[in-house]
């Protein structure tokens, strides 16, 4: 797989595979955790097939996703780039508490704990998971700058941050990458975030590039979710919204079929075609889906293809908010 560069700020640049692997769903968010040995196999298979960029967070579990990734990559650590995140309030027993915590002393403590769980000596990319309104972003950037100078972190990132926050953070410590949701059914970053990143030379890492599975064409209004699957709380995944939004998948599926690719591959190829500094991180727990996603990196869409996709998406307004009201208050600050 070819590589891409996140960030263009000299020592702030980070070279990674054109597609990464989002590991959250292996142990958090989409139902019960998957068998550990199987997930280690998927992670190692991803590396063998050219993926070098792996995404996790302390809150995924909490903690269990980091330890999974740490175990899987321990024998090949130097071949991998690991991104993890801080910023949620979690107690010592691993129970997530309501609220955020990006106080500098907390960031330092989380970094030390992440290093142990990941079984490594440095965190390649350390994101603030959500912007904490109680802590000035300059203090957050300063804390990560200290960690970089101490050799515990290589690169600083932000997740779901607004344009003004990105600029303020970048003035203190160069931001290598911003991670936010971006896909054919959530294009809000195009308004302010992507132009800001381009102006500052910051890379972009879209999570949920397949619309939390919906853009694969495998989900409709009758698809059941596990009780602990967080999509049960997402307005965009009500049965009524799924029924309405299926029109988008049908339209994209027709385009994909003419190119002899899957809807998922079309969605990933579209993202890769937007900017050379965009690196999507689709998640999967299955080897066949991993291979399908990887093949999308070789799909080339012409200007005419992109125009056709644009016309198709414009005809089908997506129904439903992407987060619950409570979660929605944490994004775009």
Q: End-to-end distance of the chain based on CA atoms, in angstroms?
A: 34
Neighbours of 112 (CB within 10 A): 10
Cβ atoms 306, 274 nearer than 8 A: no
CB count within 10 Å of CB 17 equals 23
Q: Name the helix (H) or strand (E) containing 177.
A: strand 175-181
The catalytically annotated residue of 30, 60, 127, 182 is 60
Beta strands in 225-284 (DSSP E): none
CB burial class (10 A; 0-12, 13-18, 19+) of residue 276?
A: exposed
CA distance readout (Å), 254 to 247, 259, 301: 11, 9, 15
Cβ-based neighbours of 127, under 8 Å, separated by 6 or more: 57, 83, 84, 85, 86, 157, 158, 159, 177, 179
- Is 127 noted as a catalytic residue in this protein? no
Active site residues: 60
């Amino acid at each position: 797989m070819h590589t891409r560069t996140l960030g263009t700020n000299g020592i702030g640049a980070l070279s990674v595979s054109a597609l990464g692997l989002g590991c959250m769903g292996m142990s958090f968010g989409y139902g019960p955790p998957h068998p550990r040995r199987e997930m280690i196999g998927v992670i190692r298979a991803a590396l063998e097939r050219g993926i070098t960029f792996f995404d996790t967070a302390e809150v995924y579990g909490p903690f269990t996703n980091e330890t999974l990734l740490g175990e899987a990559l321990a024998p090949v650590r130097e071949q991998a780039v690991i991104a993890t995140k801080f910023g949620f309030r979690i107690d010592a027993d691993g129970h997530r508490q309501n609220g955020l915590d990006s106080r500098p002393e907390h960031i330092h403590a989380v970094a030390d704990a992440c290093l142990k769980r990941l079984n490594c000596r440095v965190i390649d990319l350390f994101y603030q998971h959500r912007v904490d309104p109680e802590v000035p972003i300059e203090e957050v950037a300063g804390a990560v700058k200290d960690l970089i100078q101490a050799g515990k972190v290589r690169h600083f990132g932000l997740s779901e941050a607004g344009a003004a926050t990105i600029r303020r953070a970048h003035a203190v410590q160069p931001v290598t990458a911003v991670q936010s949701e971006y896909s054919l059914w959530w294009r809000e970053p195009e308004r302010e975030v992507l132009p800001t990143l381009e102006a500052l030379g910051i890379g972009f890492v879209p999570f949920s590039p397949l619309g939390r599975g919906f853009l694969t064409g495998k989900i409709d209004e009758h698809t059941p979710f596990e009780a602990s699957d967080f999509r049960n709380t997402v307005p965009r995944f009500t049965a009524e919204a799924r029924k309405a939004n299926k029109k988008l998948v049908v339209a994209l599926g027709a385009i994909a079929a003419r190119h002899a690719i899957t809807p998922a591959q079309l969605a990933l190829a579209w993202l890769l075609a937007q900017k050379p500094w965009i690196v999507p991180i689709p998640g999967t727990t299955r080897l066949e889906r991993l291979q399908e996603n990887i093949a999308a990196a070789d799909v080339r869409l012409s200007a005419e293809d992109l125009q056709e996709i644009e016309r198709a998406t414009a005809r089908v307004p997506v129904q439903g908010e992407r987060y619950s009201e409570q979660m929605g208050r944490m994004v775009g600050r």
